[in-house]
C-alpha cells in the first residue's frame, strides 16, 4: 500500500483575484497524475478558496492567506484548503438556495461532487478538506 504522497502546497493571498491563481497552481500539481476527476478537483478548489476569501478572517485581513495542499493516496486525491477561520461563520451546507442567488452553492457542490469531505478547526484557523476517488 502506497503512503499518502504530498503533490504540493500553494499559498495565495486571500483575495478574489487569487482564486484563478490557486486554480492554475493546483492544475499544475495535478498534471502528472492523470486523475480522472481533475476538473472536479479544480471546481471544488475554486469554490473553497472563494469561500475562504468571502467568509474567513483571512479575507478580512490585508495580509490574509489561503493555503491549498494537494495529496494523492492510491489514486484518491486529498485536498485541504486552510484559512484563518472565523468566529462568525462556520461551513454550513445550504440545502435550499434561491435560483437567482449568486452564491450559496459552494458546499452543496462539494457535497454532490466529492467522495467525502469535512472540516476542522486548528490552533491557527480552519481546514476544509475533500477527497475524490479515482474512478
pLDDT digits 0-9 by tens, 36-66 = 999 999 999 999 999 999 999 999 999 999 9
Report the CATH fold assignment for 5-132.
Answer: Heat Shock Protein 90 (3.30.565)
Can you spell out the DSSP letters for 23-35? HHHHHHHHGGG--
In this structure, the number of other CB atoms found within 10 A of the CB of residue 76 comes to 16
DSSP structural state of residue 2: P
Residue 93 clears pLDDT 70, i.e. is over it: no
- 121 DSSP β-pair partners: 126
Grid cell in block for residue 58: 483571512
- Is-contact 7 69, C-beta < 8 A? no
Residue 12 clears pLDDT 60, i.e. is over it: yes
Amino acid at each position: 500500500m502506497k503512503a499518502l504522497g504530498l503533490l504540493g502546497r500553494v499559498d495565495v493571498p486571500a483575495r478574489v483575484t487569487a482564486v484563478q491563481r490557486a486554480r492554475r497552481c493546483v492544475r499544475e500539481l495535478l498534471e502528472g497524475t492523470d486523475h480522472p476527476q481533475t476538473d472536479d478537483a479544480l471546481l471544488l478548489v475554486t469554490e473553497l478558496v472563494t469561500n475562504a476569501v468571502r467568509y474567513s478572517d483571512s479575507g478580512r485581513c490585508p495580509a490574509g492567506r489561503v493555503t491549498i495542499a494537494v495529496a494523492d493516496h492510491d489514486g484518491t486525491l486529498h485536498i485541504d484548503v486552510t484559512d484563518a477561520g472565523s468566529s462568525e461563520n462556520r461551513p454550513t451546507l445550504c440545502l435550499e438556495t434561491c435560483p437567482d442567488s449568486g452564491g450559496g452553492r459552494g458546499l452543496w457542490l462539494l457535497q454532490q461532487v466529492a467522495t467525502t469531505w469535512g472540516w476542522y478547526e486548528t490552533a491557527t484557523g480552519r481546514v476544509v478538506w475533500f477527497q475524490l476517488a479515482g474512478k
